[in-house]
Structure 1
Amino acid sequence: MTDLHAFIAGLPKAELHVHHVGSASPRIVAALAARHPGTKVPSDPEALAEYFTFTDFAHFIEVYLSVVDVIRTPEDVRLLTYEIARDMSRQNVRYAELTVTPYSSVSRGMDERAFMAAIEDARTAAEADFGTVLRWCFDIPGEAGLAAAEVTARLAVTEELRPEGLVSFGLGGPEVGVPRPQFKPYFDRAIAAGLRSVPHAGETTGPETVWDALRELRAERIGHGIAAAQDEKLLAHLAEHRIPLEVCPTSNIATRAVRTLEEHPIKALVDAGVLVTVNSDDPPMFGTDLNSEYEVAARLLGLDEQGVAALAKNAVEASFLDPAGKAAISAEIDAYTAAWPQAATATATA
């Protein structure tokens, strides 16, 4: 194990762009598939690796929705959520904003209140058992159109339905053929209800999609946003206004948004002064995890331990955690980093 690999493994972290269903590890997906025989999803964890090999973004959406189909009961939702937190805690993730798509479950007949109760029960249990704090981003599945937007907005703003852990409102799914401006009324409602705006944009389309997210959806953070590297004016705007990007390198390769890691624009974004955070998106589906994404970013950006720690603090800064919570995780990152040379030496000589 290299020193940097070990450093990243133990580093306290926050994650801002990671999907609920997309975080289901092979062991979780296999358990859910076994509960509901007859689906396309393999119940053998080893067969899932081949199943999760994507030809393009459209194929990814198809596979993603097939996994959604094995999450059929509130008990499934609770198991999924709790086990995701367990997997995160093993990577020293202290705080995560998990993107949840309630429309996918309620449109299949799951009771709305039971869904909310399931994620909240898992959230509080996971924090008590693992120390990982979860918060929710409710996102519109863009491919399902305005009907999905209406349902998602209603669930997000209706006080008696809205879960305590909800902090933000997003937009996911394909970008091609799904213009951002049409969702403005739903984002306006969510923002009026106190939620933060975090749409996906500029992943598989150009910089204009990011501009639309900023101008029409009042985005405070951008999911992906890598196309900003193609527009100097946009880069300057993001840097000046300290609007963070949620960058997910391996995901961009898996969905063919970027051809190779060597061509990934993360360095151009950082060099332009943009606040970049590193995230895993749909980690088991892309054969990665947050620790691996930090290793990829460290290689692409030429970072040492101090640089990786600064990258981790970017995610804390860009999060919607309260100031005391941000200060606590940042202090933990600083203390871990300061102690690292001695800790690494002690480990090597033990």
Structure 2
Amino acid sequence: MSLATLPKIELHLHLEGAAPPAFIRGLAAEKGIDLRDIFTEDGGYAYRDFTHFLSVYEAATSVLTGPDDFARLTTAVLAESAAHGVIYTEAFLSPDFCGGGDLGAWREYLAAIREAADRAEASDGIVMRGIVTPIRHFGPERAKPIALCAAETAGEFITGFGIGGDEMAGKLKDFAWSFDMAREAGLRITAHAGEWGGAGSVWDAINDLGVERVGHGVQAIEDPALVDHLAETGVVLECCPGSNVVLGVFPSWESHPIEKLRTRGVRVTVSTDDPPFFRTTMSYEYGRLADTFGWDEEIFAQLTRTALEAAFCDEATRETLAKKLEPSI
């Protein structure tokens, strides 16, 4: 089994967070912006903890100042994903970073991103869809124009709505207005929870926002009743083990609960989150899961089948992807 070439579906990828460090350094140099403090000596991203990670993330994003920058970013990110066997990816996109929440500007940024995604699909066979996300620590009022951007551009490419940022900031129920707007526009719903906020935050995502997927969600393991509920209802967890280990949510791969959740009947998937920040790829995630938990080709096929079923895409796209996956699933 070649884990690098095995066809993969990724459901939890932050577009800006997937920016290769060399790409950000090059863009900063073009614009005369000094970002030396956010890189390590060997060229990776440098941060101390999750809060500092968010600051470094936003600093790196600051050099992305126009639609062309995001088109170039999309090209770089999708090429890297495709090199690791990803045939379909859902990327979190934030109008906060693409025009400051202005609808007209967002449309321009989105057009550039989509054109780059179309070129990547034609050249590398990788399909991309977008999930619009307000930034939680920016607050619920700031999320409302982001929800409007999502609702006004919902369709074949923008298919979901979620929320990222600092999971400990505010309450998910305060964002219900924005999620209701997105849902009414036909967008599918996910939310980051259960990475830092404990099992209770997963309950909040389910009860207050009506999610069908949870970003991370791995702290659900703390509450057996929640694990049972997830298994019974089929709510999907967008697990990012490498991210969790690097950030210290769990101290090691061996202690990560993804296998316990899977064997309890919870529908889990695997993604990279912000891959260069965590020095990971989808190939690396698969390799570590195989080494740590003994996952074989059959388990990875089950994982891919779950991701395909949970993808926020139309049925025609799902059928096309299923053909690409045969006989791997």
Say if 1:44 and 1:240 are closer, same or farther in 2 by CA, change over 3 A.
closer
Aligned to 1:94, what secondary structure does the other structure show?
Answer: strand
Say if 1:328 and 1:112 are closer, same or farther in 2 by CA, change over 3 A.
closer
> Which residue of 2 is the match for residue 256 of structure 1?
248
Q: Deviation at 1:320? A: 1.9
Aligned to 1:335, what secondary structure does the other structure show?
Answer: coil
The 5-angstrom pairing of residues 66-105 of structure 1 reads 66-105=59-98
Match of 2:49 among 56, 61, 71: 56
1:285 matched to 2:277: yes
> Which residue of 2 is the match for residue 315 of structure 1?
307
Query: CA offsets per residue over residues 227-263 of structure 1, 9 Å max, x none?
Result: 1101111111111111110000110122222222222
Q: Percent same amino acid among aligned pairs?
A: 36
Determine if contact 1:146/1:183 at 8 Å carries over to the other structure. Answer: yes
Q: Deviation at 1:178? A: 2.5
Give 1 or 2 for the bigger CA radius of gyration. Answer: 1
The 5-angstrom pairing of residues 122-137 of structure 1 reads 122-137=116-131
Match of 1:144 among 130, 133, 138: 138
Q: Deviation at 1:153? A: 0.5
Determine if contact 2:13/2:92 at 8 Å carries over to the other structure. Answer: yes
> Which residue of 1 is the match for residue 15 of structure 2?
20
Query: CA offsets per residue over residues 122-181 of structure 1, 9 Å max, x none?
Result: 1222212221110000011111112331121010112xx556410000011111133111
Aligned to 1:128, what secondary structure does the other structure show?
Answer: helix
Q: Greater shift after overlay, 178-187 or 274-283?
A: 178-187
1:266 matched to 2:258: yes
> What CA distance in whole angstroms lies between the structure 2 residues aligned with 1:65 and 1:94?
28
Say if 1:305 and 1:162 are closer, same or farther in 2 by CA, change over 3 A.
closer
The 5-angstrom pairing of residues 295-314 of structure 1 reads 295-314=287-306
Determine if contact 2:39/2:46 at 8 Å carries over to the other structure. Answer: no
> What CA distance in whole angstroms lies between the structure 1 residues aligned with 2:129 and 2:217?
22
1:112 matched to 2:106: yes
- The TM-score normalised by the length of structure 2 is 0.93
> What CA distance in whole angstroms lies between the structure 2 residues aligned with 1:32 and 1:268?
42
> What CA distance in whole angstroms lies between the structure 2 residues aligned with 1:86 and 1:221?
26
1:184 matched to 2:179: no
> What CA distance in whole angstroms lies between the structure 1 residues aligned with 2:141 and 2:252?
36
Q: Deviation at 1:39? A: 3.2
Query: CA offsets per residue over residues 76-119 of structure 1, 9 Å max, x none?
Result: 01100122111111112111111111212322989333212211
Paired letter, 2:229: H
Query: CA offsets per residue over residues 306-338 of structure 1, 9 Å max, x none?
Result: 22222222211221233343344344434257x
1:233 matched to 2:225: yes
> What CA distance in whole angstroms lies between the structure 2 residues aligned with 1:30 and 1:45?
12
Say if 1:81 and 1:45 are closer, same or farther in 2 by CA, change over 3 A.
farther
> Which residue of 2 is the match for residue 153 of structure 1?
147
> Which residue of 2 is the match for residue 348 of structure 1?
none
> What CA distance in whole angstroms lies between the structure 2 residues aligned with 1:108 and 1:62?
20
> What CA distance in whole angstroms lies between the structure 2 residues aligned with 1:318 and 1:164?
16
Q: Which runs of 5+ in 2 are unaligned?
A: none
Determine if contact 1:253/1:260 at 8 Å carries over to the other structure. Answer: yes
Question: Paired residues, what number?
Answer: 328
> What CA distance in whole angstroms lies between the structure 2 residues aligned with 1:177 and 1:46?
32
Q: Greater shift after overlay, 251-260 or 196-205?
A: 251-260
